[in-house]
Chains A and B, each alone.
Chain A
Amino acid sequence: MDALQRAVYDPRMSVITKPNTYRAGADGQGHFGIFGGRYVAETLMPLILEVEKAYAAAKADPAFARELKSFQDHYAGRPSPLYFAERLTRHFGGAKIYFKRDELNHTGSHKINNCLGQILLARRMGKSRIIAETGAGQHGVATATVCARFGLQCVVYMGAKDIERQKPNVFRMKLLGAEVRPVDKGTATLKDAMNEALRDWVANVDSTYYLIGTAAGPHPYPTMVRDFQSIIGEEVRAQLQEQEGRLPDVLVACIGGGSNAIGLFHPFLDDKSVRIVGVEAAGKGVATGAHAASIAGGAPGVLHGNRTYLLQDANGQIQDAHSISAGLDYPGIGPEHSWLHSMGRVQYVSATDDEALEAFQLCSRIEGILPALEPAHAIAHVKKLAPTLPSSSLLVMNMCGRGDKDVFTVAEALGAKL
């Protein structure tokens, strides 16, 4: 029996019923169906429980919500615009395409939404030192930013390979006062940075708060990160209502760990008419093995504190991911996405490096927006999807990051000399 079949035959999942709502998870133990959970060493377990308790208290406190809202509005620049991409719509023909402009946030991506929420939580918990992992550097920059704003010590773990391909963000973090610690272990990318951050946390339990950047990791992180990112979907709902007077027909977002996607999707999960599509990174193609598409090319497993779809071999060893986008280059995916996949509520597709590169250039030329390589994967799928839909159809894609950080990578891929 392979791992996928085992997951389906898991006793806790022996009766698959459609839930009344897709928005209630996780359960009290942090499970989304068989996914999620708290697979951490005992030393960390009490800390995870402390974060969960502190987050529950913050969530129930109107003062926390007020403080967060104030920083979202005046520091991050929310709400981000919902923009009708008129020329791209005409170019593709078909659905009316809107971009949720989360690349216009302070620090250039959606990552700030989560960092603001968690830094306020860390302060409530009395922590003086913040650690984080980063792949593309967007989460590292956002973390370094909020640490600078609140005067907290900041250590960011980053794979040595990622440091090499994301130099502008590394320097940005240093300017913001963070210490960037290169991780040369394992594959020297995001998963190894996360291992190293967990090792740091276990050794500095009293002073340190681990600010996880994606909707993965042990409970309560997947739920908490989703909650802080859900402002994306909530704004879309209100903005589209104002501009079009109705719900969207299709939502599209790229997925590495899946925080921008779950933020867009979650407020719409119970709106049956809304078709929801997540785009994983297919790298050189899922069939080549050089990709980061955990759902398309992985199987359920346990890593970094949660059960979810993972790229792994037959012996349960985690395999290298590959994507031109450092932010999607992770061999796992947030557990709620795994659950939404198993329930069939969200459709998961993939786009290759080449398709993303082409979309990156197209969007830059036609809309005057340099997308990050991450949302370029979403654009690549919109290119396939939009022409199949009627012109009355409303499609919202999350432009979750800007492409300035990627110009060197894109130049190299296109053979351009800078």
Chain B
Amino acid sequence: MKNSSLSDTRVTRRFAALKRAGRPGFSAFVTAGDPTPGAFREILAGLPAAGADLIEVGVPFSDPMADGPSIQLSSQRSLKHGSSMKSVLADVAAFRKNDADTPIILMGYFNPIYRYGAEAFARDAAAAGADGVIVVDLPPEEADELCPALDASGLHMIFLTAPTSSGARLPAILKRASGFVYYVSVTGVTGTKLADEDHVKAAVARLRRHTQLPIAVGFGIKTPDAARAIGRHCDAIVVGSAIVDVIGKGGSPAEVLSFVRSLAGK
């Protein structure tokens, strides 16, 4: 059941603007609090100017089962500095003071949300200025314990679809989806295999037969060339591990943002 208030949000407005501009969006993933709370806020604040049309903020978790080494390490770096759901939401609120338009999607695992309380989380995330939520380990079969709370707070629940999602499964996923649909372009964890352009083209075409929602593709895009190639076939591309790797190698916020500019083709 979709909340009518979700028909005009920062997310829908951003995808409408991208469509008018005739180009795919670029979504940058960074883990909150990585590498330090201060450097993270600097990176986050600089992302829109560096070309990020959307931002995915990773909520660190001790056991990120769907993530490869890059994002696992970024979670560990962040947790070492004591980050928590509260600090993540405070980072989002700080960002929102200076940017009223760039959508922020919180991406993470269910346990930190469950522990915070689904309703309290939805309320506080919306108040901080987040726009949507991706919960990696909450498939539609279990999503009813979070979806109503997100709906009530005007947050999009963004679902993942994968190469393994059968045609029979897609309607069950898409009837709960709002904002956009995330296509996981490889079978594997984040930042390991490379997305194949022909595969993505066919997969996105298949998804379009099932949904009007914009389609973002992620999980295997590491370079500006790959970003351009995959971007030809979808509404937005997501890069995470490659950015997080620059942070992991000790890159300064300026270096991180310069890499983001190259990915965004700026």
Contact = CB atoms under 8 A, between A and B. Distances in A.
Interface stretch (B44-52, B164-172, B228-236, B258-266): B164-172
B110 A39 contact: yes
Nearest to A40: B137
Given A312-B111, A317-B62, A37 B189 contact: no
A362 interface: no
A246 interface: no
Given A316-B114, A318-B111, A45 B139 contact: yes
A386 interface: no
Given A202-B188, A203-B193, A45 B169 contact: yes
Interface stretch (B24-32, B97-105, B124-132, B154-162): B154-162
A186 B65 CA distance: 11
A366 interface: no
A186 B63 contact: yes
Contacts of B142: 37-39
A40 to B, nearest CB: 6
B89 interface: no
Say which size band chain B's interface belongs to.
35 or more
Contacts of A29: 141
B85 interface: yes
B59 to A, nearest CB: 10
B115 A3 contact: yes
A317 B136 CA distance: 16
Contact of B116 (A44, A195, A316, A318): A316
B40 interface: no
Nearest to B183: A42
A193 to B, nearest CB: 11
Interface in A269-290: none
Nearest to B184: A43
A6 B117 contact: yes
A192 B84 CA distance: 21
Main secondary structure of the interface of A (DSSP, over half): mixed
B74 to A, nearest CB: 13
A1 interface: yes
A42 B62 contact: no
B65 A195 contact: yes
B138 interface: yes
A302 interface: yes
Nearest to A1: B117
Given A202-B66, A205-B164, A301 B115 contact: yes
Contact of A46 (B72, B85, B160, B164): B164
A123 interface: no
Contacts of B173: 42
B187 A41 contact: no
A202 B111 contact: no
A199 B137 CA distance: 13
B15 interface: no
Interface residues of A, number: 41
Given A203-B193, A302-B110, A41 B117 contact: no
B112 A317 contact: yes
A129 interface: no
A304 interface: yes
Contacts of A315: 84-85, 112, 115-116
Nearest to B60: A317
A63 interface: no
Of A43, A202, A310, most buried by chain B (CB within 10 Å of CB) is A43
A101 interface: no
B137 A41 contact: yes
A320 B120 CA distance: 27
Contacts of B188: 43, 199, 202-203
B180 interface: no
B137 A302 contact: yes
A402 interface: no
Contact of B192 (A185, A186, A203): A203
Contacts of A186: 62-63, 76
A20 B121 CA distance: 36
A155 B79 CA distance: 30
A191 B63 contact: yes
B60 to A, nearest CB: 8
Nearest to B192: A203
B95 interface: no
A314 B114 CA distance: 11
Contact of B162 (A37, A42, A192, A305): A42
A307 B184 CA distance: 25
B122 to A, nearest CB: 14
Contacts of B116: 315-316
Interface string A293-336: 00000010111110100101011111100000000000000000
Interface string A24-42: 0000010000000111111
Contacts of A125: none
B68 A199 contact: yes
Nearest to A45: B139
B162 to A, nearest CB: 4
Contacts of A199: 65-66, 68, 188-189
Nearest to B138: A39
A251 B68 CA distance: 43
Contact of B139 (A38, A302, A319): A38
16 contacts: A6-B117, A40-B137, A41-B66, A42-B160, A42-B164, A43-B164, A46-B165, A195-B63, A198-B66, A203-B192, A204-B187, A302-B114, A304-B63, A305-B137, A315-B85, A317-B112
Given A185-B72, A315-B116, A318-B62, 8 more contacts: A39-B110, A42-B164, A42-B165, A43-B163, A186-B63, A199-B66, A205-B187, A305-B137
User: Nearest 8 CB-CB pairs, A to B?
Assistant: A316-B115, A203-B188, A316-B112, A43-B162, A315-B84, A317-B62, A316-B111, A41-B66
